[in-house]
Amino acid sequence: MTAAARNEPLRDQTYLPLSGDAEVLDFLSALRERGRQPADPRLRLTAPDGKSIELPESMLEVLLQVAAAMNAGLAVTVAPQRLTLSTQEAADLLRISRTTLVRLLEAGAIPFDKPSRHRKVRLDDLLEYRRRQRSRAEQAFAEMVADTERLGLYDTDPAEVKAALKAARQNRAG
C-alpha cells in the first residue's frame, strides 16, 4: 500500500542507482520498445503478488526519465509538489532567492495569484518559466558557439592563448 493510500504525508525520497544494475537497462529497453509499438495494448505492471494494473501514459514518461537517469549512474529524487506553491517553495524549486522570485512575479515574468496577503504561484506556470529560461540560455550558447566558429577561435592553439593571457596579465600588473 502506498503512503498516499495510508494517508501518510508524502516526502522527498532520493534513489541511488546500484552499480552494474542490469535490471535498469532491461527495464529501460522494455519501456522504449513498448513505446515504439502503438498497436500494443497499454503497458501493465504486475506486482509480486500477481496483481496487475494498467500503466497510464503519463507514468510511462516518468518511468522512462527515472530509468534513463539511473542508467546514466545518476541519483533520482522524487519530490511531491502541490499544484500551487508559496513564493518560498517556488523560489526553492527555481533555486533562486525569494526576493528574486518576487521581483520576477511583480515584473510579470511569472503569473501569480494573490487571494489574500500572500502570493501563490501555479506549478505549471513556474515550470513553463523555467522551460523558457532554459530555451533562451541554450539559444544564447548556440549563438556564442556560432560566433566563435565564425571568428575562427576554435582554430587557435590553446598554448598560444595561454601565453597571450599571461603576457596581458603581466603588462597589466607592471
Predicted pLDDT at 173: 83
Full domain range(s) for residue 101? 84-165
| Judgement on whether residues 74 and 89 belong to the same structural domain of the protein | no
| Judgement on whether residues 59 and 88 belong to the same structural domain of the protein | no
Q: Is 172 contained in some domain? A: no
Q: Is 5 contained in some domain? A: no
- Domain with residue 99: its CATH number is 1.10.1660
pTM assigned to the model: 0.55
pLDDT digits (tens, 9 = 90+) for 18-66: 766 666 667 767 766 765 555 555 677 778 888 888 878 778 788 888 8
| Judgement on whether residues 89 and 160 belong to the same structural domain of the protein | yes
Q: Is 30 contained in some domain? A: yes
Number of domains comprising the chain: 2
Q: Is 102 contained in some domain? A: yes
Residue 16 to residue 127: CA distance in whole angstroms: 25
Residue 145 to residue 140: CA distance in whole angstroms: 9
pLDDT digits (tens, 9 = 90+) for 112-171: 999 999 999 999 999 999 999 999 999 999 999 898 888 887 777 888 888 888 998 998
Q: Is 116 contained in some domain? A: yes
| Judgement on whether residues 47 and 91 belong to the same structural domain of the protein | no
Residue 41 to residue 63: CA distance in whole angstroms: 18
Q: Is 62 contained in some domain? A: yes
| Judgement on whether residues 69 and 121 belong to the same structural domain of the protein | no
Q: Is 173 contained in some domain? A: no
| Judgement on whether residues 93 and 74 belong to the same structural domain of the protein | no
Q: Which residue has the cell 496483481?
A: 51
* Residue pair 121/105 in contact by the 8 Å Cβ criterion: yes
| Judgement on whether residues 126 and 61 belong to the same structural domain of the protein | no
| Judgement on whether residues 139 and 69 belong to the same structural domain of the protein | no
| Judgement on whether residues 67 and 108 belong to the same structural domain of the protein | no
Cβ atoms within 10 Å, residue 15: 13
| Judgement on whether residues 89 and 48 belong to the same structural domain of the protein | no
Across 69-88, average pLDDT? 85
Cell of 123: 506549478
Q: Is the pLDDT of residue 102 over 80?
A: yes
